[in-house]
Amino acid sequence: MSDVDRLAGLPQDQRILLAPLVRTTKWFWIWAAVLAAVTAWGAFAYALQVQSGLGVTGLNTPEYWGIYIICFVFFIGISHAGTLISAILRISNAEWRRAITRSAEFITVLVIAFGAVQPVLDLGRPDRLLFIILHGQPWSPLLWDVCSIGLYFTASSVYLYVPMIPDLALIRDLGIRPRWLYWFLAIGYQDSPRTRRMLQRIIAVLAVAVIPIAVSVHTVIAWIFAMTLRPMWHSTIFGPYFVVGAIYSGIAALILAMAILRRVYRLEAYFKLVHFNNMGLMLLLMSLLWTYFTFAEYLTAWYGGEEAELATFWSKLTGPFAVPFWLMVASCFVIPFALMCRKATRGVRGTSIASVFVVFGMWLERYTIVVPTSLHPRIEMASTHYVPSWVELSIMAATFSGFILVYMVATKFFPIISLWEIQEGREEAVREVSERVASYLPDEVRVAGS
């Protein structure tokens, strides 16, 4: 019998959540084809760049870094969606997390990979990539970066994988194809109260371990810039500033993912308004944090009034970069704040719109960090501009499409919502929560008899 009718008889959760694994619509194929095409085009562009050098980009002196580095910071930022958020929620025992952690963790794992290749695309000599390991120079923030990203990737893969084992085991037992895959990935897990407890413990440890790693990643990326003496890069708050920005864009990305999944896989019953509302509140919080950091950053630059700093500063506020800068302010603060501070607009549509702006705005933020400073060296005011070439833009497009493509495919092989955690929620959480609540209440005080 086919996988489809296999599902028929199952309880709701399994029926709905496993559906994508066995049923594929024609729209899926259409989208996949389009995205694949874009990705292939980008690959071609890169091939061209490899064989004729970075001259095919719009880069120049002193604009040594451009789109690739911008995307690098951006994508690694997005990657903070999953692991970090889900870990925090897990540790804080936020019950509403159960439906969203899996999709979040998937974003992380897949996007890191795409983020991590950006600096490689940016290399003048990709063929010498291995030198970073062979001749690694521990003083270089770039090397710190390689390490922390590598660690983060491993950790979050494990962190994605381990909580998925029970579901994989379930699928294996249901005999859904490709059987060998699930057999292989389930690594012989047998569900039982004891194994569950074991698993819970491992997850708990991972959750705690993964948070500092996640924080370190974006801090180190910030340091790549902050360790130079360049105006408006050389800043002490860059580490936390970048982390905040990262989480901010991560949440936005997650909201978008949820909204889309909800739509295409009819998951209204699982991604409920409450989820969007809560995420919206987090978005609100982050928008305020981000604005606070941005303000602090620019105020100090301006107040210090150092010549070089001011040149960069004004080029952003009133100069050639005024448009991207104020667009950024609008889409990272004004719009999301306006939408998220009202419950009415914290629905699916509201949060999605806000998230679109935030994601876009955070890309712009990276742009206004990288480019203006590059074009304002301390000596010899640059007479040049930076106009990304079609090669750079193609490769950027390919990165986006590539990411979406693999994410789509992933949802075809793995339940995008954790079955066993939902189930666990149904069975135990209610009891647990009421016990927990009870434990908050004041104990009865026995009065000694008269």
Long-range contacts of 336-342 (CB under 8 A, 24+ apart): 336/252, 336/283, 336/284, 336/287, 337/284, 337/287, 337/288, 337/291, 339/280, 340/280, 340/281, 340/283, 340/284, 340/287, 341/284
Return the closest-CA partner of residue 277 out of 212, 231, 330, 343.
Answer: 343
* Greatest extent of the chain over all pairs of C-alpha atoms, in Å: 96
Q: DSSP string covering 26-82, please?
A: HHHHHHHHHHHHHHHHHHHHHHHHHHH-GGGSS--SS----HHHHHHHHHHHHTTTH
Among 137, 431, 442, 445, binds other proteins (CB under 8 A): 137
Decide: is 390 part of the binding site for other proteins (CB under 8 A): no
Instruction: Report in angstroms how near the CB of residue 437 gets to other proteins at its nearest.
Output: 31
CB of 270 to other proteins, least distance (A): 27
Q: How many residues bind other proteins (CB under 8 A)?
A: 60
Please, which residue, 120 or 269, has the CB nearer to other proteins? 120
**Among 23, 55, 175, 208, interactor with other proteins by CB under 8 A:** 55
Nearest residue (CB) to other proteins, 81 versus 168: 168
Shortest reach from residue 382's CB to other proteins, in Å = 7
- The distance of closest approach from Cβ of residue 11 to other proteins in the complex, given in angstroms and rounded to an integer, is 24
Instruction: Tell which one of 8, 27, 139, 444 touches other proteins (CB under 8 A).
Output: 139
We find the least distance from the C-beta atom of residue 388 to other proteins, in angstroms, to be 13
Nearest residue (CB) to other proteins, 227 versus 409: 227
**Which DSSP symbol is given to 426?**
I
Residues 372/66, Cβ–Cβ less than 8 Å: no
Examine residue 59 and tell whether it contacts other proteins (CB under 8 A).
yes
171: which residues sit within 8 A by CB, 6+ positions away? 18, 21, 182, 186, 415
Which residue among 20, 97, 106, 122 contacts other proteins (CB under 8 A)? 122
Instruction: Quote the CA–CA distance of 178 and 167 in Å, as a whole number.
Output: 15
Cβ proximity of 367 and 70 under 8 Å: yes
Q: Is 236 in the site for other proteins (CB under 8 A)?
A: no
Q: Give the per-residue contact string, 180-199, with other proteins (x = CB under 8 A; - = no).
A: ---xxxxxxxx-x-xx--xx
The residues in 35-54 that bind other proteins, with binding defined as CB under 8 A, are: 50, 52-54
Q: Which of 428, 420, 416, 427 is nearest to 101 (CA)?
A: 416
Among 15, 23, 125, 343, binds other proteins (CB under 8 A): 125
For residue 128, give both structure tokens. Answer: 């010498």
Binding site for other proteins (CB under 8 A): 50, 52-55, 57, 59-62, 64-65, 119, 122-132, 134-137, 139-143, 146, 183-190, 192, 194-195, 198-199, 224, 227-230, 374, 377-380, 382-384
